[in-house]
Structure 1
């Protein structure tokens, strides 16, 4: 067998099926072109009032700009971080620990104690992505909105206050070294 057959978790990996409604949407993110193109020096782009200025343009996205996120909300005028489903799936330590255990089981390892905030953040970001988009596939990335990143960081802070931002696919950073 070639290495290509072992890239996914299953030999016959199911492909995501898109409805005609999903195919018609131009992008995951729709941005008002009248806003300042440089989002790193202002918050004019934030519609939910929970975003902060992010270090890069690509990370400067509000939850209310994303069609997939808005589909998960009954009230599209409220930030996703205020929703009960978000709090349960992305901030609840017990839920995150179950997800961590599932991830560890796939790679054939046990979950180490104590669990670091870095691993909680990583798992919360994965949980958010799975909840909003479903399974994306290996090396397929979506930018997590600034409000979500800020909320997760505030719940699971790094001692030194230094965080990694969004990584493009060209950089192999699927799993934090000490995490799994």
Structure 2
């Protein structure tokens, strides 16, 4: 049954004129930008010459998007693996879902209510942690207790730049509690 459906879809796609295909892709992008970017994104090479992204000028060799910075631990040396124009940390949705203060306030309140947690009086730290959770939820969905993912360096530093620790003390990645 799935083969027939896929064949029908393939046939319909093949009959669409190029302009309609472009419109279809744009509508798909509006509904799920990361899905479309994953499909059309062409990965750059690890060539450090002529790489425009990073503000610090020292782009790590493991970075594809050019916005990552060196990380203190090998497990944290992770990139989103997108082109500079499609880097997770530079998408419009990222600014809304991950960095917006009102969205983070709502996310913090919901977490505090559900887990009966005390409110963190350090607003930047509370926003940083909420932003990390928002990113994971946005990209990976709900993971569950002890199931963790390393957040790309480009994302970590965009969040830290917006909600910095005054002394530059950051915790870093902590592996799952259960495993």
What TM-score results when the alignment is normalised by the length of structure 1? 0.62
Tell me, in whole angstroms, the C-alpha distance in 2 between the residues paired with 1:115 and 1:55.
24
Match of 1:86 in 2: 94
Alignment gaps of 5+ in structure 2: 1-44, 46-57
CA distance in 2 between partners of 1:107 and 1:61 (Å) = 30
- The 8 Å contact of residues 48 and 63 in structure 1, kept in 2 or not, is answered as yes
| Alignment partner of 2:114 out of 81, 106, 117 | 106
Answering whether residue 163 of structure 2 is matched by residue 163 of structure 1, we say no
Would the aligned equivalents of 2:75 and 2:150 in 1 still touch at CA under 8 Å?
A: yes
RMSD of aligned residue pairs (Cα, Å): 2.9
Q: Distance in 2 between matches of 1:108 and 1:54?
A: 33
Query: What secondary structure does 1:64 align onto?
Result: coil
Higher relative contact order by CA 8 Å / sep ≥ 6: 1 or 2? 1
Give 2:132's match in structure 1, choosing from 100, 125, 132: 125
Residues 163 and 110 from structure 1, CA distance in 2 versus in 1: closer, same or farther, beyond 3 angstroms? Answer: closer
d(CA) in 2 for partners of 1:56 and 1:171? 21
- Specify which structure has the higher proportion of helix: 2
Deviation at 1:171, TM superposition (A): 8.1
The list of structure 1 runs, each at least 4 consecutive aligned residues, that deviate by more than 6 angstroms after superposition, is none
Please tell me whether the aligned partners of residues 99 and 159 of structure 2 are also in contact (alpha carbons under 8 angstroms): yes
Distance in 2, Cα, partners of 1:44 & 1:76: 15
Change (3 A) 1:167 1:88: same
Give the number of equivalent residue pairs: 126
Distance 1:171 1:118, change over 3 A: farther
